Amino acid sequence: MLMFQEIQARGHEQVTVVHHAPSGLRAVIAVHSSVLGPAIAGCRLMPYEEDRALRDALALSESLTYKAALAGLNLGGGACILLAPEGGDFELHGREALFRALGRQVRLLGGRLVLTEDVGVVGNDIAYAAQETSHTLGMNTDTPAVTAYGVYRGMKAAARYHLGGESMRGVRVAILGAGSVGRALATHLLREGAKITVADLKPEKAALLAEDLEGPITVTNADAIFDAPCDIFSPCGFGHSIRSPNVPRLQAKMIAGGEHNPLTPRGQALLKEAGIVYIPDFAINAAGLIAASSGASAEEAAERVYQNVLHLNLQSSRTGRAPHEVARELAAHRIRLIGSLGSMSNER
């Protein structure tokens, strides 16, 4: 990857690589935009190759910029990708040391970035970082559960335009990813009478979800699910779940899920050509961020997602633009407008 070319093309303000050998800290911290406010940075801890860690930091931070802007938050977009320690295990007090070391690095950024949890990171981890920096949030929010409820409500909003009504009764939903978000989403959908097909890269997780939840659930594998007949395909994994070569296999009318960056720009273009509606991740999975940053309840945060998805689909129907294109334009428009206020004099 041509690193500096990619950073410049995406418009990032700052990308920092940090390392602290005693604690095992190895991380990429990216600030895409701080125009609207400090960059909210979802912190991920997973086994990563170094090149993939940088790519994901750039993509996630850009996505957070648009998510915060579209949600009406005074926050920018950031990301923090932690490379898991070799072997994947922590020694005694190792996790505390890792996140406190990270907290010190965040403190050095002087408030430009605010740390919150993402995949592989929980509230206790952010609490460790908070011992070293005040620039954290989300420790008291069940982010996956709130995110899943927002995705469910966003699906209903989109279904009004693309499935003939917002009821999920009888709607076939294929969920790729049986983690905390996918499981909570399936629970909401089953309660309303949807028919679920589920898959995960770890098949035992999908099987356990089907065993634990009551309702019409079909378990398949993470490749076969692309051929599953469905109305909605819902990626709820860790990113890049829908590879461009798999787009022609999709049976769905709509893509809507909790996953960040499930598609490349090429994949989004292929979906549009195929006549499949993509409700963008940064619009539909924003409820967790809204709740964590504003103190809104799960219901309030999900209602904001519902209204935002309604609005972008209304604008899409009026302009003939795809919903994911409209969403990006609306977010970019807010960033430009609010950013322009910085050129105004403070004098009265």
Residue 164 labeled ligand binder: no
Distances from the Cα of 167 to the Cα of 74, 158, 179, 182, 276, angstroms: 33, 11, 24, 19, 19
Helix axes 123-130, 94-108, angle to 10 degrees: 60
In eight-state DSSP terms, residue 168 is: -
When computed from its CA atoms, the radius of gyration of the chain, rounded to whole angstroms, is 20
CB 130 within 8 A of CB 103: yes
d(CA 238, CA 119): 7
182 is in an annotated binding site: yes
Q: Which residue has the tokens 């005694």?
A: 92
> What is the rounded distance in angstroms from the CA atom of residue 116 to the CA atom of residue 132?
14
Q: Which two tokens stand for residue 201?
A: 């890269």
For helices 298-319 and 287-294, the axis angle rounded to 10 degrees is 130
Angle among Cα 251, 257, 261 to the nearest 5 degrees reads 100
> Can you say how many angstroms the Cα of residue 242 is from the centroid of all Cα atoms in its chain?
14
- φ and ψ at residue 3, rounded to 5 degrees: -60, -55
Tokens 């923090």 sit at which residue? Answer: 80
CA distance 52 to 115: 20
Q: Which residues pair with 31 in a beta bridge?
A: 14, 78
Structure tokens at 335: 């960033």
178 assigned to a ligand binding site: yes
Give the residue ranges of the annotated binding site: 177-182
Q: Which residues are annotated as a binding site for NAD(+)?
A: 177-182
